[in-house]
Structure 1
Amino acid sequence: MEDKKLEQLTVGAGCFWCIEAVYYQVKGIEDIVSGYTGGTVPGRPTYREICSGLTGHAEVVQVTYDANVISYEDLLVIFMTSHDPTTLNRQGADVGTQYRSVIFYHNDQQKQIAKAVVKEIAPYYENLIVTEISELGEFFKAEAEHQNYYNNNKRQGYCTFVIEPKLTKLRKLHADKLKKQTA
């Protein structure tokens, strides 16, 4: 068996609870940390500060994955089809710069792949893609209650009405990239 080739992806697609729930379903995912990055205010931001929209940070997930199992490009295609990349600073009822569609690249190769994926996906959308592609700055882990949110709160209304439809869409579009479901 090959050794694992661990790499990271950092993206924001509205509320981090949604994209975290999506990536937990994908083969090759080793770890997911919900957090904040991309802001301009110094110091460690809190969820309350992020929600104000004044810090410039985005809610993101930092995904550690095995590149021998799934590629960065495949993860970005899943990302681009798991939210609406054509709405500026908004995903559904979540509005503000903290909910922007954004890919934070870790190196130049990721930057080039991100640009290529956005260009490849663009014709499938009626409106212009507004996904930001930015260099990753300092990443801050979100508070404990935001980690693995969907799996810990499946009966909560937001999970039922916002996250579950995204997971249904994921299963329809990317079944070949998902972990096998157990009963």
Structure 2
Amino acid sequence: MNTMWYRAFWSLLTISILVIAVGVLLKLPQLMEKSANPSLNKAAVGPDTPYIVLGMGCFWGAEKRMQALTGVLDVEAGYAGGDILNPSYETLHDTEASIQAGKAVKNHAEVVKVYYDSRQTTLEQVLIRFWESHNPTQGNRQGNDIGSNYRSAVFYRTDEERQWAEKTRAIYQANLKTAGIAAPITSEIASLRNYTSAEAYHQDYLEKNPLGYCGLGGTGVAYFDPDMPVRTENPHSTQVAAAEQNWQQIKLNAKEQLIAFESVECGYCKQFDKEVLSAWKNPISIVSTNLTIPPDGWKLSQALFATPTIVLFRDRQEVARYTGYQGAQHFRKWLGDAALSN
């Protein structure tokens, strides 16, 4: 009897260990991604920890991008810059509807409050990541998210923060001009007011929902200050000059080519890569990139706004696109229909 109990006990213990091990293995990619920035440490944030409040469109993707910068301790999603006290997610959308109806009221922007360790990074580096990680020329929108609640903004608390925001804006505007982007930066630079932390379900959203929506990201132009030493940390995006050089190194079929525009924070992109690209057998060639611009001379029919976006080019002109990812079967059906189109 004791022997039977002993065997049953060890069998149960073995099964339990295996279940735990499998669970750890399944969670390992997420855990590795979460620890990509060893500086992240909410517990290290205190009343004197420096921070800056930034508007970069939808705060889910903005939070993820700013969390990746070494030296950032925590990033909190919130609302700032509007007239209403204690706003909520619903408040922003209701206020935007009122603005469209002609009401004279200023809406809050979706923002992220970026806490950083000044021993590991600087306000300048945080602002550089900000400029590189979204498109600051789009006015009251960011990609497909339209409205003043999605505007680009830097909300400062001190004159020093204001000066850094204006200085880095001027440098990045020059970078865009050099890259051939003539559009002016529209980012609001204003004193912080009426900041409110967003609801709990918005915090660390893409960590809890790795397949959640994430906008396209930056312009593809890296921040470059000719008076600043070369950074040791790779920028979030790639300079357009380098991007063109990279495109030149990739063999493309001008007659018919698929290009998958992706981003490093995009959970759906990783799923697409795993389920589709890793087993690619279609005769149409495909390449993937984290750039937000096609090769020189290749024309999009409309701006990209989210990832992944897979574009079919013929004679360097877009003829069809697939935005988002709804599974391999759904994508292959789209591709079959697109391949038959004229």
Q: After TM superposition, is the score higher than 0.5?
A: yes
Query: For the residues of structure 2 that align with 1:23 and 1:92, how far apart are their CA atoms?
Result: 18
Give identity over the alignment, percent: 34
| Aligned residue among 48, 51, 64 for 2:90 | 48
Query: For the residues of structure 2 that align with 1:137 and 1:44, how far apart are their CA atoms?
Result: 11
Task: Flag as ranges the 4+ runs of structure 1 deviating above 4 A.
Answer: none
Q: Find the counterpart in structure 2 of residue 181 from structure 1.
A: none
Shift of 1:29: 1.1
Answer yes or no: is the 8 Å Cα contact 1:26–1:177 preserved in 2. Answer: no
Query: For the residues of structure 1 that align with 2:234 and 2:77, how far apart are their CA atoms?
Result: 21
Shift of 1:176: 1.1
Q: Find the counterpart in structure 1 of residue 195 from structure 2.
A: 139
Provide TM-score, normalisation by structure 1: 0.83
Answer yes or no: is the 8 Å Cα contact 2:83–2:194 preserved in 1. Answer: no
Q: State the aligned residue count.
A: 167
Query: For the residues of structure 2 that align with 1:34 and 1:12, how far apart are their CA atoms?
Result: 10
Shift of 1:105: 0.6
Query: For the residues of structure 1 that align with 2:49 and 2:175, how far apart are their CA atoms?
Result: 31
Equivalent position SS for 1:6: coil
Larger Rg: 2
Equivalent position SS for 1:85: coil
Q: Find the counterpart in structure 1 of residue 79 from structure 2.
A: 36
Equivalent position SS for 2:54: strand
Query: For the residues of structure 2 that align with 1:138 and 1:6, how far apart are their CA atoms?
Result: 20
Q: Find the counterpart in structure 2 of residue 78 from structure 1.
A: 129
Q: 1:32-60: per-residue Cα shift (whole Å, max 9, x none)?
A: 1100011112x311101112325610000
Shift of 1:6: 2.7
Query: For the residues of structure 2 that align with 1:84 and 1:98, how far apart are their CA atoms?
Result: 15
- Counterparts of 1:12-161 in structure 2 under 5 Å? 12-41=55-84, 43-52=85-94, 53=96, 54=98, 56-125=107-176, 126=181, 127-156=183-212, 158-159=213-214
Greater relative contact order, per chain length (Cα 8 Å cut-off, separation 6+): 1
Query: For the residues of structure 2 that align with 1:177 and 1:105, how far apart are their CA atoms?
Result: 26
Equivalent position SS for 2:119: coil
Query: For the residues of structure 1 that align with 2:170 and 2:127, how far apart are their CA atoms?
Result: 12
Equivalent position SS for 1:88: coil
Gaps of at least 5 residues in structure 2 are 1-44, 99-105, 225-230, 236-342
Shift of 1:177: 6.2
Please report the RMSD computed on the Cα atoms of aligned residues, expressed in angstroms: 2.5
Equivalent position SS for 1:98: helix
